[in-house]
Structure 1
Amino acid sequence: MPSRRRLVPQAQQALDQLKYEVAGQLGIQLPRDGYYGYLMTRDAGAIGGNMVRRMIMMAEQQLASRGQI
C-alpha cells in the first residue's frame, strides 16, 4: 500500500487555510479541533472539489504570467 506523504510538507498550513476559506465561502462550518466525523460527505466533497478548482486556477495563472500557456 503506498504511503500518503506530502511532496512539500511545508504546504500543510497553506492547504488548511485554503480549506477554511473555501468552507467559509460555501457556508460550511468546520470544527477547529480537526474532527470531521460529523461533516456530511456532500459538504466534504464540495470543499475538496472547490479546493482543487482553486489550485488549478492558481497554477494556470502562474503559468500564464510566465508566458507558458
Structure 2
Amino acid sequence: MPGRRQNLVPQARQGLDQLKYEVAQSIGVTLPQDGYYGFLQTRDAGAIGGNMVRQMITLAEQQLAGQAGGAALGAQAGR
C-alpha cells in the first residue's frame, strides 16, 4: 500500500514533516534519521500523530477566528 496516500497540497509535505519532528521532540520521542519507523512503538507514533492533529486544529481555529473577526469588523465599518 505504499504510495496510496497523497497530500492534497504537495507543498505541505515539508511543513508536515517539520511539525512531526517538533512534536516528537516536545513529547520526548526520538525519530530515526534514516526514515525507518519500524522500531517506533505504536503508542509513540499515535502520540505524535494525535499532537500534530491537535496543533493543526488549534491553528485552524485561530485562523478562522481571525477571519471571522475581520469580517465582523468589515461589516461594522460598512454601516
Same fold flag (TM > 0.5): yes
Q: Give the letter aligned to residue 42 of structure 2.
A: T
| Map 1:3-14 → 2, pairs under 5 A | 3-14=4-15
**Structure 2: tracts of 5 or more residues without a match:** 70-79
| Map 1:22-41 → 2, pairs under 5 A | 22-41=23-42
| Map 1:1-69 → 2, pairs under 5 A | 3-67=4-68
Question: Given the two structures, how large is their TM-score scaled by the length of structure 2?
Answer: 0.80
Q: Secondary structure at the match of 1:67?
A: helix
Cα distance in 1 between the residues matched to 2:6 and 2:16 = 14
Question: Given the two structures, how large is their TM-score scaled by the length of structure 1?
Answer: 0.91
Q: 1:10-68: CA deviations, max 9, x gaps?
A: 00000000000000000000011110000000000000000000000000000001116
Give the aligned length: 66
Deviating above 3 A after TM superposition, structure 1's stretches of 4 or more consecutive aligned residues are: none
> Which residue in the other structure is 2:75 paired with?
none
**Structure 1: tracts of 5 or more residues without a match:** none
Radius of gyration: which is bigger? 2
